[in-house]
Chain A
Amino acid sequence: MVSVENPLIMNIIRGLIGVVAVILFLSLNVLFLTWLERKVIARIHVRYGPNRAGPYGLLQPIADMIKLLTKEDIVPEKADKLVYNLAPMAAFLFALMPAAAVGIGSGLIAADIGVGVLYIAAVSSLSTLAILMAAWGSNNKYSLLGGMRTAAQSLSYEIPLVLSMIGIVAIVGSLSTQDIVAAQSQAWFGIIPKWFIFYQPLAFIVFFAAVVAEMGRIPFDLPESESELVAGFHTEYSGMKFAMFMFAEYIHFVVGSALVVTLFLGGWHLPIISPLVENLGWIKYIVQAGIFVAKMYVIIFTLMWVRGTLTRTKVDHVLSFGWKGLLPLALANVVITGVVLSI
């Protein structure tokens, strides 16, 4: 009989609670997002959007899920079966991994590893691998083209993404997402928050553009530009395997927005309200998580708005924007931050 006091067992139990909590949080948000995205885009297009299943069509995600669960799973006979079947699983795994180091409240984090930001940057680039696996395994021209484009795009935007975080890391002196948010807790005159968007406006622009490209959303949705590549890398997938790709994509959406909030928008801090709940025990955590999720949805809504407004960019423009626009800006931001901090 293993003692409950065994620290390893305790750590594993705590870790498992973290994993389950993160998957639950992501699943609920993803379900809600699939509805919200369709509704918001519909309203922008002056349509109604889903409005049959439940009030305001809120049960639509459930209906979609049942449909995907009961759909026939087709594997093309010419596909590389092993790679084809592994790709959706890899997509989910690599989408889930960065979420481990993103917290939604002080202490409300699954794994507060010291190298948080660097870990997120490292594992988030792995999802390119899953997309390439799907692209190659499908043995389909559209998939392969989409996968190749994705590889070129996410490689190009990975660098500005990582470089734009250096300024913040230099200011905070820590890579942990908890420390980065804690550094933004103060406010000038108690009203104007000391968020890093005000300290690092250039980095914010670069990071925001890069994170949208990493998510593969409009205006950078070349991986699955449906008008030219059918559906890009997941053309051949159906049923639950397709669902895994969609799940992974929306997890990227949630985690990317959460990262923007964590790094630039003060995380779970809000002037006036945050100091009030500081000593209220468990209410503090609920308020913090609420503030964080609210900010996250502001970013998410902005991105949906962008999707409803802008068109897709051409592949050559996307790549030259990354290399000739964002990369020099990100490098300049590092130099400026270094000079300002050293003086």
Chain B
Amino acid sequence: MSVGEQYITIALFVIVGAIFPVLTIFVASLLRKPRTPEPQKYLTYECSVLPFGPAWVQHNVEYYMYALLFVIFDVETVFLYPWAMTYRSFGLFATVEVIIFIAVLALGLAYAWKKGALEWMRGWR
């Protein structure tokens, strides 16, 4: 199989991986099971007390800070992989370029660090 044809297998993985759990859950639902419907059973679990207010509430913004930083650094890694693959044909020049690139991003990380973007719950202290 050529490299391109290997992607057929990947596609099959997606298809089978999507069908397998559906089938398993379906087959399990066919089996005879204890069914004792009680209204309390279908309440949201909250350590045995009645659910207090909805769960879908506004959420702490701290989590999104990490998502923003993640986007920056994940794009960076995507740029580094081509270099890792081809540094042989470009030699020292490319390495210097990459070190400058990493230095700029390390500066960005240091800035985020200094500004407290990496602190958990900084607004609460």
Contact = CB atoms under 8 A, between A and B. Distances in A.
A217 interface: no
Given A74-B42, A96-B17, A324-B113, A19 B9 contact: yes
B30 to A, nearest CB: 10
Interface residues of A, number: 86
Interface string B1-35: 10101111111111011101110110011011111
A173 B67 contact: no
Contacts of B13: 19, 22, 96-97, 99-100, 110-111
A36 interface: no
A3 interface: no
A78 B63 CA distance: 25
B21 A175 contact: no
B123 interface: no
Interface residues on B, range: 35 or more
B77 A159 contact: yes
Given A89-B25, A166-B84, A316-B121, A16 B45 contact: no
User: Is chain B's binding surface mostly helix, strand, loop or mixed?
Assistant: helix
Interface stretch (A150-158, A185-193, A277-285, A293-301): A150-158
User: Is chain A's binding surface mostly helix, strand, loop or mixed?
Assistant: helix
A239 B17 CA distance: 19
Contacts of B25: 73, 88-89, 240-241, 244
Interface string A133-174: 000101111111000100110011011001100110110011
Please provide the 6 A-B residue pairs with the shortest distance between their CB atoms, ordered closest to farther: A316-B120, A15-B9, A111-B9, A93-B17, A240-B28, A170-B84
